[in-house]
Structure 1
């Protein structure tokens, strides 16, 4: 078995693979103040609840956009799983060609998503990840990562309204029945949800035109992240939702690097 960890600003998503099959996955809150022991006890408990033996873990791979949590996580892996974690970054084989001006600036999660989607579809791609930030990534048929766009995430926008406007409440992120709303809560929901749907479709349209200009026609649009299904219901352009895209990418990168070692 291999353990994969995607460390985001809000959550750590963990998955356990038995060969190519995802047999368990969990979410933990990201907290840089937790010690390696605190994380280790929590992860081991999750394994035991699923009747999985931690000693069966042969390897671990981590992608992270939170540098100050990495010491605790890497130490936790050494102590509780007795292996050295592979950390996605420069020098790690991934199978794509990053065309960013400075490849080191690309978030590990964006690289991992690109790797997974390219391996799965082998066609021009636009990837949308609805996380703490909403990221849009462009990948060519041949696996060139062209770049993309970064926007504030949906939850950030919702929390900002609540925190900065004295009379506006915190609202649940659900699809409202209309845009012309008769109360404050549904008015906020409509503005946030439909506003992001419009943002997604406009950015995708612009990205498709730019990709067509370099010969990458009919790009497939794939969404991932916690709120992907909510936005995809009304979006004109999202073709498919892949909820485990990042975990799949981590598994693929781990396997590529094992092949390199062999």
Structure 2
């Protein structure tokens, strides 16, 4: 079995793979002040909860967009699982050709998603990841990562409105029945949710045109991340939701690289 860790700005998602099967998934809050032992205790409790043994883990891989947390997580994996984790970054085999001006600038999560989508679908793809930031990534049928767009996430947009407009309340991010709303809470929800749906559809439309102008077939659009389902309900551009796309990509990248020495 292998341990995969997807470290985002808000959450760390941990998964356990037994071969190709994802058998456990957990979510922790991201906190770069925690020590390796603090994370280790949390992870041990999760293993006990799911009746898993730490000694069954034979390898690990980490993808992170939070550099300050890496020492604690790498040390935690080495100390508690007795394996050296693969860290997604320069020098790691992915099977993806990154066509960015500076490939080192591309977030590890975006590369991992691209690897999974390319391996699964083998066609032109647009990936939308609804995280702390929302990312749009374009991948060709040959596996070239062309680049994409980055937007403030839905929650960031909502929080900014609450923090900067003194009389507006913080609201739950849910879809109201329409956009002509008769109270402030519903009006904010309509603006955030339907506005974001419009943003997604417009960016995807533009990305599809640019990719097809390069000779690609019409891209297949995959969404992942916590709020993907909410947006897909009204979006005209999302074809499928894959909630474990990043974890799948981590497993694939692990398999492409030599197993670390214990």
> 1:259 deviation in Å?
7.8
Q: Secondary structure at the match of 2:229?
A: helix
* Structure-1 residue corresponding to 2:86: 86
- Residue aligning to 1:77: 77
Task: Compute the TM-score of the two structures, normalised by the length of structure 2.
Answer: 0.98
Give SS of 1:166's match.
coil
Structure 2 counterpart SS, 1:52: coil
Summarize the Cα distance change of 1:260–1:43 in structure 2 as closer, same or farther, 3 Å threshold: closer
Q: Is 2:8 aligned against 1:27?
A: no
List runs of 5+ in structure 2 lacking aligned partners: none
Contact 2:116 2:245 in 1 (8 A): yes
User: What residue in structure 2 maps to residue 156 of structure 1?
Assistant: 156
Structure 1: gaps spanning 5 or more residues: none
Inter-partner Cα distance in structure 1 for 2:156 and 2:124 = 30
**Segments of 4+ in structure 1 off by > 2 A?**
258-261
Once the two structures are superposed, the pairs formed by residues 99-138 of structure 1 within 5 Å of their partners are 99-138=99-138
- The residue aligned with 1:252 is 252
CA distance in 2, matches of 1:184, 1:83: 53
Deviation at 1:64, TM superposition (A): 0.3
What is the rounded CA distance, in whole Å, between the counterparts of 2:23 and 2:258 in structure 1?
21
**240 and 199 in structure 1: CA distance in 2 versus 1, 3 angstrom threshold:** same
Task: Say how many residue pairs are matched.
Answer: 261
Please provide the CA RMSD for this pair. Answer: 1.1
Question: Shift in Å at residue 244 of structure 1?
Answer: 0.1
Q: CA deviation at 1:258?
A: 3.0
The TM-score, its normalising length taken from structure 1, stands at 0.98
3-state secondary structure, aligned to 2:25? strand
Aligned partner of residue 258 in structure 2, secondary structure:
helix
